[in-house]
A and B are shown apart, each in its own frame.
Chain A
């Protein structure tokens, strides 16, 4: 603190408390809604204090789902989302770390070309190539499968850049010593690079897990079979029903469960999360 200004300190806390309130309020009200019975949303104003139907709402959504929406039980959709998030995380890290290794530790014709090919993926988000990508996946017979949900999202320029940057900071003496001791490239990778990259892998995993979990457009395109719905995309089906038939309590229970895993990851691993975010961001 540079100077003592008590009123400014009070104002600072007021601003922050108000900010936190705005950030938390929608989630609080969603939670409240998820603890009431069906009748609470027909007229008047939405409830502001928790009700008594929490166990019933979450229980029925988790095991049977919202019958009218044609969406499966939340347990299945959360499982699918988990599979998708984990496969994407592991896949992106695995193929990116070996690509970065190839680009940094070898010299071969086409190196620059391959680097630019990976770089270009940054400029081609799914949103801008929806129809042709859908066609490719359909032609490969990967609609309604875990492979279709995950494989097309696994290429990662950002992860490759992060590992490339990290490898550049490692001293050449490390490689020299390994080569003098007779280590081949795979052994060097496994016994030296991989252990050194542990923190980076962990930080990146947090970011990529969230990335995988919140995917919406892609699952929407490649799944028509409810068995492969993920929870985040499944919310849309429930919302469509809620507009006509106000079952906000059930929709909000689904919303809470869709939020919970990634938000827990951020809160419990805040240090890794911040590191991963600030360092990976392009």
Chain B
């Protein structure tokens, strides 16, 4: 009968009649959600409209001044630009590399499992560890990579060269994310019907043509899903990589948005500005989540 509602809110046909028990069951989750998620998020929104004096004793309501100041601040606009470049570079590098490896593993009949095991473990590596590993390899004094690059005439120094610092962070962040993308691409490739590819092969399509005309288009739900996840990862989960290695420098070249919120709010104690930045980040996450769930719902109809 009442089966017309959105599938998300279904209950069982047979349910238990208790009136109090469900509230008790939900209580712990809701309590934590309210105290540590909703309340602080609300506080961030409120203080983004306030300006506090440096001692936190008095605050005045300033409407959107914190926001307008942000967008007039060249450091913030720079940070937006740096974040966009970083997110695009990380997403592109890790997804391309992972797709190549997934297609290769998918071709194999034997040994695919061995390669998979050797490729998936970086998922468990903390981003900060990935950052420190590559920071070590890129060390201007003793690192192996600057040594090799010097033969190509590159004088590597991420302490003074902003582009070098950015490249190092992109490499570290992408390296850690390859395993995740790889697993989802392999799952996506395995769900493509064999018969389609065989039919194309019989019609004389070579491996490259089959990939671009059949496999890649059929993989697009996976690709799109990963696109969102990777942008999310690059924007938010990479805080620790920046914090432990470049600290946003040199000269703001790697000052991504999440790091700037932290630096302004916790280290700089500029509460109003930091709150406004938090609210902008929240809106970005909400937009990403929205796109993602729209897409997931569509996939159900596939």
Residues of A within 8 A of B (CB): 1-3, 5, 8-9, 12-13, 15-16, 19-20, 22-24, 26-27, 29-30, 33, 41-46, 48, 94-96, 98-99, 101-108, 110-112, 114-115, 117-118, 120-125, 127-137, 140, 151-152, 154-156, 160, 167-168, 172, 175-176, 179, 184-186, 188, 210, 213-214, 216-217, 220-221, 232-233, 235-236, 239, 246, 248, 251-252, 255, 258-259, 262-263, 265-267, 270, 273-274, 277-278, 281-282
Contact = CB atoms under 8 A, between A and B. Distances in A.
B40 A30 contact: no
B123 A26 contact: no
B149 interface: no
B275 A131 contact: yes
Contacts of A156: 29
Contacts, number: 316
Interface stretch (B7-15, B59-67, B68-76, B82-90): B7-15
6 contacts: A1-B109, A19-B104, A27-B133, A30-B136, A132-B41, A214-B127
B29 A45 contact: no
B154 interface: no
Contacts of B281: 127-128
Given A172-B13, A259-B129, A23 B175 contact: yes
Given A19-B119, A20-B118, A106-B18, A46 B124 contact: no
A19 to B, nearest CB: 5
Nearest to B258: A127
Interface centre among A16, A251, A258 (most CB of B within 10 A): A16
A213 to B, nearest CB: 7
Nearest to B293: A282
Size range of the interface on B? 35 or more
A121 B33 contact: yes
Given A16-B105, A20-B119, A160 B14 contact: no
A248 B293 CA distance: 44
B12 A15 contact: no
B142 to A, nearest CB: 5
Interface string B1-40: 0000000111111111011011101101110111111111
Contact of B126 (A42, A214, A270, A282): A214
B269 to A, nearest CB: 9
Nearest to A170: B12
Given A1-B109, A122-B289, A266 B121 contact: yes
A29 B136 contact: yes
Nearest to B225: A281
B187 to A, nearest CB: 6
A216 B18 contact: no
A135 B193 CA distance: 53
